[in-house]
């Protein structure tokens, strides 16, 4: 029950924030991806930077449970799948999460995006065994790894000599600097 309440609260807040920053507006996303207006990119970079600093700073301070980390496997399929997703993201202006939000905020075209998403998931379900047979889903670069070795985490590191929490904080600062430096609009 507690999990369901957390899902409602965090999920609801996530949806509201995505609406507020314009992430569920395909025009905003299309202008970002065609490099016309980068305000939303700045917001995303700032968010990732803050997330890195809060997560790893919190771990160092003993306030964040390292066990809550969930690192996905690095595979060739991650790159290929990302490339496929990117085409559809540019075409529709939606990714899975923002499409669901757009549907909730009454955008009628999002109904077609979500229906398409269900078809895409079904197509992948049918294709799964053949995709697996190609080796695209085999781990690369060590599989479930972080950049540096995070103390107390169950994951290995791509660069085991580096302290993962420090890497995270430094990277977070880099993301935030980039967020501030890139222009909101392309220079004329």
Residues 122-141 that bind other proteins (CB under 8 A): 122-125, 128-129, 131, 136, 141
CB 68 → other proteins: shortest distance, Å? Answer: 5
Length, in residues, of the chain: 188
15, 99 in Cβ contact below 8 A?
no
Note the Cα 111 to chain centre separation in Å.
22
Compare residues 54 and 60 and give the one whose CB is closer to other proteins: 54
Question: Does residue number 163 form part of the binding site for other proteins (CB under 8 A)?
Answer: no
Site for other proteins in 17-56 (CB under 8 A): 17-22, 24-28, 30-31, 33-36, 39-40, 42-52, 54-56
60 forms part of the interface with other proteins (CB under 8 A): no
The Cα–Cα gap between 46 and 40 comes to 10
Question: Contacting other proteins (CB under 8 A), which of 61, 62, 106, 177?
Answer: 106
* Given 83, 133, 161, 187, the residue binding other proteins (CB under 8 A): 83
Residues 184 and 31: beta-carbon distance below 8 Å: no
Q: Does 72 bind other proteins (CB under 8 A)?
A: yes
Among 12, 151, 152, 183, binds other proteins (CB under 8 A): 12
């Amino acid at each position: 029950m507690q999990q369901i309440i957390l899902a409602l609260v965090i999920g609801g807040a996530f949806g509201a924030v995505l609406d507020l920053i314009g992430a569920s507006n395909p025009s905003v996303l299309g202008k970002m991806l065609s490099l016309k207006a980068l305000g939303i990119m700045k917001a995303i970079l700032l968010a990732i930077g803050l997330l890195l600093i809060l997560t790893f700073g919190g771990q160092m301070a003993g306030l964040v449970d390292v066990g809550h980390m969930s690192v996905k496997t690095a595979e060739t399929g991650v790159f290929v799948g990302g490339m496929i997703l990117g085409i559809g993201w540019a075409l529709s202006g939606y990714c899975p999460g923002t499409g669901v939000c757009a549907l909730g905020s009454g955008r009628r075209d999002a109904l077609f995006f979500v229906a398409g998403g269900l078809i895409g998931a079904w197509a992948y379900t049918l294709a799964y065994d053949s995709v697996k047979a190609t080796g695209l889903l085999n781990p690369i670069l060590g599989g479930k790894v972080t950049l540096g070795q995070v103390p107390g985490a169950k994951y290995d590191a791509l660069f085991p000599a580096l302290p993962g929490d420090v890497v995270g904080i430094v990277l977070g600062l880099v993301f935030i600097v980039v967020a501030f430096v890139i222009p909101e609009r392309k220079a004329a």
